[in-house]
Amino acid sequence: MASEIINPQSELTATGLDPAFALHRGGKMAVRSTVPVRDADDLSLAYTPGVARVCGAIAEKPELVHDYTWKSQVVAVITDGSAVLGLGDIGPEASLPVMEGKAILFKQFAGVDAVPIALDCRDTDDIVETIARLAPSFGGINLEDISAPRCFEIERKLQERVDIPVFHDDQHGTAVVTLAALRNAARLTGRQLGELRAVISGAGAAGAAIAKILVGAGIGDVALCDRKGIVSRDRDDLTDVKRELAGLTNSAGLSGPLETALDGADVFIGVSGGTVPEAAVAKMAPEAFIFAMANPDPEIHPEIASRYASVVATGRSDYPNQINNVLAFPGIFSGALQVRASRITEGMKLAAAEALAAVVADELSPSCVIPSPFDERVAPAVAAAVAQCARDEGVARR
């Protein structure tokens, strides 16, 4: 995406009006009423004096807010603009088109209303405090495009403050879809997750979450790599998050560069950018899986990946097996809102991944290990699995 914006001040291209600017003019969202206000009687019910009776009832019994306001069907999509798509730290105003886009995806794919909010704030505690004060208006909080490692602390502290789901999609949405695709790739080739050794390139928000969910799902082993190489217990330069991950991953005790980890590996998962040398790819195990998800330029080009891998996935829509977060977050929040969940647990994420994988379980092929974002079965299947898991785990309130 960054490469497409050559002159962000101009709405014109060599062939005329840039269609992206044309689509975005005036914003991509609007607010509409769900009730008529045609005459004085309607007005007296929608506003005063009728609204006072509803307010009084909620004051006496606060849980009624879910029944008589939009709270139980709306999510706040919140960012500080510090890590936006492939653009990086572009600030709150420039991030707003992305937040609007995320909000319309909630509506399009799961019927969930969402409100984009861009915060002019970078201090972790200030962000947590601000969102916590906004929380009474919403049924869930979707954190978006917040830089690591701050995103980990913000999510943790905020969930401790509020009793509605807090979900950092850059972490968990990516992890859920990746696990679903990996489950199906293993099924396609007659293997179990426990037989696989995976390598993750990138130890930021997405990489850390993918490592954790793979461990939770029973992966054989996973090596997480950052710019300095394999995240291992013998390194003395790790952040608190990476130190925790070093204790969960790399049971083989590998150290050194990414290329060392790839030697004999069954799975490559790229969430970092950069380029992996073909010579390193060639050393992976037979029938490997390559999920090169950097956008727009995958870490391993699909044409190269297909020479060595039995299943190839990317983050792009113009290749098969797109690992796209829109397969996860609409259904996850829909399920959580349906049962008024107080949080989204690790079990709910695993349930979402299994349900997502099951959508195409009878249609598997090397070019189909994950559904299309436009497959209408996806959001209902994920929502049902998440809602049931929330009930089973005791975080549902209806």
d(CA 322, CA 155): 26
Residues 337, 349: contact at Cβ < 8 Å? no
- With CA atoms as reference, report the closest residue to 291 among 163, 152, 184: 184
Per the CB < 8 A criterion, the answer to whether 38 and 81 are in contact is no
Q: Which residues pair with 76 in a beta bridge?
A: 115, 141
The residue from 28, 61, 68, 102 that is catalytic is 102
Q: Other C-beta atoms within 10 Å of 237: how many?
A: 8
In 10 A of CB 376, how many CB atoms? 10
Rounded Cα gap, residues 119 and 79, in angstroms: 6
Two tokens at 84? 């936006």
Is 102 considered catalytic here?
yes
- Alpha-carbon distance 398 to 391, whole Å? 8
For 23-52, give one letter per residue: b (16+ CB within 10 A) or e: eeeeeeeeeeeeeeeeeeeeeebeeeeeee
Through-space distance between the first and last CA atoms of the chain, rounded to whole angstroms: 42
Alpha helices in the chain (DSSP H): 19-24, 40-46, 50-60, 65-68, 91-110, 124-134, 150-161, 169-188, 205-217, 240-248, 258-262, 278-281, 302-308, 329-338, 346-359, 378-393
Peptide bond into 149 cis (omega under 30): yes
What gap in Å lies between CA 296 and CA 136, rounded to an integer? 38
Close Cβ partners of 307 (under 8 Å, ≥ 6 residues apart): 281
Judged by DSSP in three states, 28 sits in coil
Would residue 350 be called left, alpha or beta, if left means φ above 0 and alpha means ψ between -120 and 50 degrees?
alpha
| Active centre residues (catalytic) | 47, 102
